Amino acid sequence: MSKPQPDLLSPRQILDALVRFPTVSRDTNLPMVDWVEAYLASHGIAAHRQWHADRTKAALFAHSGPWEAGGVVVSGHTDVVPVAGQVWTSDPWEVTERDGRLYGRGTCDMKGFDALAIWALVEAHRRGVARPLQLALSYDEEIGCTGAPPMIAAMAQVLPKAGAALIGEPSGMRVVTGHKGGTGIAVHVRGFEVHSSLLPQGVSAIMEAARLIGWANDRNAEARARVPSPVAALFDPPFTTFHVGTISGGTANNITAADCRFLMEFRNVPGESAESWHSLFVAEVDRLRSAMQAVRPEAGIDLSPFFTVPALVPEPEGAAETLARRLTGDNGHHVVSYGTEAGQFQDAGYSAVVCGPGDIAQAHQADEYLEVSEFAAGHAFMERLLAELGA
């Protein structure tokens, strides 16, 4: 008696299954990970998990083809942004096809690519590739790309190292070779309360925070006035930017504020080190803290970093760029101003580019969709990748 054949799903069927898992970043992704793991196992592919510290989430990675280094890894994230507060025409947790579009949360960002990558990994195994293909699915991308670094570290322990990483964030199947880095720092300025009529005897956390924000404005103005480097010139805007997105503090108009909290982020262009920008900011904080403590030793400034995403530095003639250009025929120069896990793969020693179906403008929106034609282009891309790997 012959063994029953495992179900072989199309990319579209895999996408349908993935979208049904409401893998919002703050919630578990384990049902989706279980499903992918079981599907791969049904085709004889053993996947590996890298658990989040609290074991409510996991990354999944797997390998098809000869057990050797130098293959290609296709990577996406499992998490999606929430739908709360958004008005959807159809169920966000069900793929609905209408007007040549696949509507559903994550179809564009980025379960469409995940589905194609899972499909390709199974095909690589079934057809037999001469060079390996690897799949890597992370968690917590949408809350600061915090899931990919431990996943990449675990991959280094378990799998032969791939030579090129293709991160399928929506790029309209264009080859994106660079993106800015990002660093977020939570700043807590601690002042000293006195009646505002006695201003010099107190320390207003708000007014001191304003100095740091003013410092950030000055850096933006300086950067804008400088002639950008050739790499920076690819970006819009062509310089590193500082931004404060939220601020709170103070209790009354006539009390110097005891507390002011704000979130400072900066987005550095490739070629400018995030560490040196960070040190500049810390030096300014140290200077200001001393001045505050000269008035009131109780005053202070506390910094807690909350995200860091390394820039993706273009690698002309790099393995990933060369491969992605050959597969897409795209020879243009494209960079994006949002961060992705590609910079983290590159940081870990992979040649990396971003290339995936869909338009980033659809990401995170109500009625998020992926054009059917984009999904088909992604499918054709995977077919060419399989051929490239000798399937």
Catalytic machinery residues? 79, 141
Residues between 259 and 318 that touch Zn ion (CB under 5 A): none
Q: How far is the CB of 219 from Zn ion (least distance, A)?
A: 28
Which residues, 26 to 55, sit near Zn ion by CB under 5 A? none
Stretch that binds Zn ion, among 105-113, 273-281, 308-316, 328-336 (CB under 5 A): 105-113
Minimum Å gap between C-beta 179 and Zn ion is: 12
Contact status: 117 vs Zn ion (CB under 5 A): no
Q: What is the DSSP letter of 86?
A: -
Q: Give the residue, chosen from 16, 37, 79, 109, that forms a contact with Zn ion under the rule CB under 5 A.
A: 109
Q: Which is nearer to Zn ion, 109 or 321 (CB)?
A: 109
CA 173 from centre of chain: 17
Could you tell me the strand order of the sheet in which 133-138 lies? 47-51, 58-64, 133-138, 72-77, 164-167, 351-354, 176-179, 334-336
Candidates 20-28, 103-111, 211-219, 306-314; binding stretch for Zn ion (CB under 5 A) = 103-111
User: Closest CB to Zn ion belongs to which residue?
Assistant: 109
Q: Which amino acid is present at 143?
A: I
State the nearest-atom distance from the C-beta of 32 to Zn ion, in Å: 15
Binding mask 145-174 for Zn ion (x = CB under 5 A): ------------------------x-----
Total count of residues recorded for the chain: 391
Question: Considering only 102-110, 236-244, 288-296, 318-326, which stretch makes contact with Zn ion by CB under 5 A?
Answer: 102-110
Reference 110, options 370, 321, 323; nearest CA is: 370
> Least CB distance from residue 53 to Zn ion, whole Å?
22
DSSP H or E segment with residue 120: helix 112-127
374: enclosing H helix or E strand: helix 372-388
Instruction: For residue 272, give both structure tokens.
Output: 């400018």
Nearer to Zn ion, 33 or 129 (CB): 33
Nearer to Zn ion, 79 or 321 (CB): 79
CB-nearer residue toward Zn ion: 113 or 239: 113
Closest-CA residue to 199 (of 153, 125, 271, 254): 254
Q: Which residues, 6+ apart, have CB-to-CB distance to 66 below 8 Å?
A: 129, 130, 131, 132
Measured CA angle at 176 (ends 107, 159), to 5 deg? 75
- CB nearer to Zn ion: pick between 109 and 193: 109
Report the residue number, 169 or 272, with the smaller CB distance to Zn ion.
Answer: 169
Q: How far is the CB of 109 from Zn ion (least distance, A)?
A: 4
- Give the binding range for Zn ion (CB under 5 A) out of 106-114, 130-138, 202-210, 256-264: 106-114
User: Least distance (Å) from Zn ion to the CB of residue 16?
Assistant: 19
Q: What's the Cα-to-Cα distance from 53 to each of 26, 27, 61, 265, 340, rounded to whole Å?
A: 14, 14, 17, 26, 22
The answer, yes or no, to whether the previous bond of 31 is cis (omega within 30 of 0) is no
Q: Which is nearer to Zn ion, 9 or 363 (CB)?
A: 363
Q: Are 370 and 19 in contact (CB under 8 A)?
A: no
Size of the site for Zn ion (CB under 5 A): 3
What is the amino acid identity at position 107?
T
Q: In the chain, what is the straight-line distance between the N-terminal and C-terminal CA atoms, in Å?
A: 29
Handedness of CA 170, 172, 178, 179 (dihedral sign): negative
Residue linked to tokens 């051929």 = 387
Residue 211 CB, shortest distance to Zn ion, in Å, is 36
Among 30, 40, 45, 110, binds Zn ion (CB under 5 A): 110
Q: Residues in the site for Zn ion, rule: CB under 5 A?
A: 109-110, 169
